[in-house]
């Protein structure tokens, strides 16, 4: 089993390399791979070099970071809530980010996409804190069911706030919709550079929780007997989700289904062991997001769709299949 997992991870990394090259080469103007390689390592002032280095390289690096963050956040949420249909939105992160962005646009006059990042991150953090505060009230603390219910309630309230604002403020709606659809285009390396520390801390924290999460999968009583500090693990897990998903959502907008689908794809190879599941989720989510972004460029060539539309289109059948699987398992 160990050999199978290692081979699968190597193949996933090779697929990631292919996705990166495709992201750099494919677009309204296709560029041969040898020219892409030359532009990366030798630069130059040719048109192809400018396209690769100034436009596609930042977009590809952002896709790598955001994909890895969303995949890892999804695996973490599913482990924390013991919910196979869990995704980062379950803790209210996406709704909090959206609410903060629309408030910034409507009431503070914020128009620069780079400025959206910090409002979105603050909104994601505030929503997650509210969810945890509500879910931890009463006897028993923050159980998985309570967190899921609190996340649903907070998310619904924030989405109602967003809908109310954009319905009465057409200017806010016009600007908000471009962020809300989810896109890797139009962002430069400054966005990634500002959020990279949060992504790095979130990834490190999530990977460090793999062993206690394996124990918690056996049940709270068994985990407690094995020495796992349940409250500490759940709090740190929630912090990691906020750092990962909050950073990703802030930089490109909410992307649906990446955090939901990828852990299930990884679990088919790794099984439930979080020590393997999390690294697989990091790599496979980056592959999925870059592949979806390349598909978005090809479907409407020479124009392009937003990557958020492609992930939603691909993710809907996955969600239906997962729901059917969960229902069959419960019968």
The C-alpha atoms of residue 39 and residue 82 are separated, in whole angstroms, by 46
pLDDT over 80 (residue 55): yes
The C-alpha atoms of residue 65 and residue 209 are separated, in whole angstroms, by 20
The C-alpha atoms of residue 245 and residue 250 are separated, in whole angstroms, by 8
Distance of CA 169 to the CA centre of its chain: 29
In eight-state DSSP terms, residue 89 is G
Confidence of residue 331 (pLDDT cuts 50, 70, 90): very low
In the predicted model, what is the mean pLDDT of residues 188-207? Answer: 86
- At a CB cut-off of 8 Å and minimum separation 6, what does 296 contact? 304, 305, 306, 307, 309, 310
Count the neighbouring beta carbons within 10 Å of the beta carbon of residue 317.
11
- At a CB cut-off of 8 Å and minimum separation 6, what does 58 contact? 187, 188, 189, 192
Give the range of the structural domain holding residue 211, as residue numbers without chain letter. 2-330
Confidence of residue 327 (pLDDT cuts 50, 70, 90): very low
How confident is the model over 259-318, as pLDDT tens digits? Answer: 888 898 888 888 888 999 999 999 999 999 999 999 888 887 777 788 888 888 877 777
Distance of CA 4 to the CA centre of its chain: 27
pLDDT over 60 (residue 27): yes
Quick one: angle between helices 307-330 and 274-299, nearest 10? 140
What is the torsional sign of CA 42, 48, 50, 52? negative
pLDDT over 70 (residue 121): yes
Any idea of the CA torsion for 268, 271, 277, 281, to the nearest 10 degrees?
10
CATH number, domain of 191, equals: 1.10.3470.10
Confidence of residue 177 (pLDDT cuts 50, 70, 90): confident
In the predicted model, what is the mean pLDDT of residues 240-268? Answer: 85
In the predicted model, what is the mean pLDDT of residues 193-204? Answer: 88
The C-alpha atoms of residue 82 and residue 145 are separated, in whole angstroms, by 9
Confidence of residue 18 (pLDDT cuts 50, 70, 90): very high
The C-alpha atoms of residue 248 and residue 174 are separated, in whole angstroms, by 22
User: What's the number of domains the chain is made of?
Assistant: 1
If we measure between CA atoms, which residue out of 148, 152, 102, 149 comes closest to residue 123? Answer: 102
């Amino acid at each position: 089993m160990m050999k199978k997992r290692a081979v699968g991870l190597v193949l996933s990394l090779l697929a990631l390399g292919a996705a990166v090259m495709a992201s750099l080469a494919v677009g309204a103007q296709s560029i041969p791979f040898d020219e892409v390689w030359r532009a990366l390592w030798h630069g130059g002032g040719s048109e192809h070099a400018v396209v690769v280095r100034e436009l596609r390289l930042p977009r590809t690096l952002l896709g790598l970071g955001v994909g890895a963050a969303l995949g890892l956040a999804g695996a973490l949420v599913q482990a924390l809530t013991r919910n196979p249909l869990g995704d980062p939105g379950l803790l209210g992160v996406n709704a909090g980010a959206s609410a903060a962005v629309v408030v910034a646009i409507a009431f503070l006059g914020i128009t620069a996409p780079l400025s959206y990042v910090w409002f979105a991150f603050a909104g994601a953090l505030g929503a997650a804190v509210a969810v945890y505060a509500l879910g931890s009230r009463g006897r028993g603390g923050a159980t998985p069911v309570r967190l899921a219910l609190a996340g649903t309630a907070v998310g619904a309230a924030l989405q109602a706030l967003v809908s109310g604002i954009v319905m009465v403020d057409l200017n806010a709606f016009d600007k908000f919709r471009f962020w809300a659809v989810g896109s890797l285009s139009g962002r430069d390396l400054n966005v990634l550079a500002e959020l990279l520390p949060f992504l790095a801390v979130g990834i490190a924290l999530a990977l460090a929780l793999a062993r206690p999460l394996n124990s918690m999968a056996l049940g709270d009583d068994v985990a407690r007997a094995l020495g796992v500090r349940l409250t500490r693990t759940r709090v740190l897990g929630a912090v990691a989700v906020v750092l990962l998903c909050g950073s990703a959502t802030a930089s490109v907008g909410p992307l649906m289904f990446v955090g939901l689908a990828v852990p299930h794809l990884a679990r088919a190879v790794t099984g439930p062991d979080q020590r393997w599941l999390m690294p697989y989720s990091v790599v496979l989510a980056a592959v999925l997001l870059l592949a979806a972004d390349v598909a978005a460029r090809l479907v409407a060539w020479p124009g392009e769709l937003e990557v958020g539309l492609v992930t939603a289109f691909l993710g809907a059948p996955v969600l239906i299949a997962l729901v059917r699987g969960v229902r069959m398992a419960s019968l």
